[in-house]
Amino acid sequence: MSARLREAARRLPVLAVVEDDRTFREDVLLPVLSHSGFSVVGMDRALDLYRSMTLRSFDLVLLDVGLPDEDGFSIAAHLRRLSPRVGIVMLTGYDSAQDRMRGLRAGADAYLPKPVDMDEVVTTLHNLARWVIPDAAAAPTSTHWRLDERGWCILTPGGVEIELNLAERQVMAMLAAAAGIPVQRETLIASLVKNAYDFDPHRLEMLVHRLRKKCQQAAEEELPLRAVRGIGYVLNW
């Protein structure tokens, strides 16, 4: 097995914990999950999760329902549309049978009512991780374009690595998270700057043009990134 595959096989599952109860999140969830074999990022609202997803990819999301800016059911449905593979576990005080079915129908893989034993949370997440994280040893090659584990390189179907700068990485992370779905120009610009009104839209077009050219020159293959008239761009990989 190559060094890259050994590294992929060893890496910890990356877990987003979205919980607005700060004490429960910081004093219970994050310490326990960090010591149980997960690379954990904690946050208290949906907006922080969406922003984080422009910079990194998550294998798993542990999600509360009662968040201040968006309920967990709609977040689960949005995540499932973006990524059929991400593992979603809902951990919430909404424990009726109706709530459970609503969560599962929204796309959650598991629904755990509070209060819950942390051993059950850990076991559920580990079991789910085995399904959502590809076995690097079993799949040493790929015929698809993709981002590497850190998101700093595009990997071509032929195995060529194309390094990305920060702006390219931010745009590609957003497009990859919505692969097959057009992403609005305004959304892509918002991933690059705080104030979209200070950003010349032509800079985004130039960024995409240079990225396509970089891929073509490095790999002699065309990046499957297309403009969608009147909307923005779509990544078909």
SS3 13: coil
Q: Could you tell me the two tokens for 50?
A: 């969406």
pLDDT at 137: 41
Per residue in 139-166, pLDDT tens?
444 557 888 877 888 988 877 889 999 8
**Omega of the bond prior to 182 within 30 degrees of 0, cis?**
no
**Partners of residue 230 on adjacent β-strands:** none
Tens-digit pLDDT profile for residues 178-234: 888 888 988 888 888 877 677 788 889 999 999 999 998 888 888 999 999 888 999
Owner of token pair 């240079």: 210
pTM of the model: 0.56
Beta-bridged to residue 39, according to DSSP, are 14
| 108 close to 78: Cβ distance less than 8 angstroms | no
Report pLDDT for 128.
Answer: 92
pLDDT digits (tens, 9 = 90+) for 7-59: 444 578 999 999 999 999 999 999 999 999 999 999 999 999 999 888 888 99
CB-CB contact of 88 with 108 (8 Å)? yes
Q: How confident is the model at residue 138 (pLDDT cuts 50, 70, 90)?
A: very low
pLDDT in the model for residue 62: 97
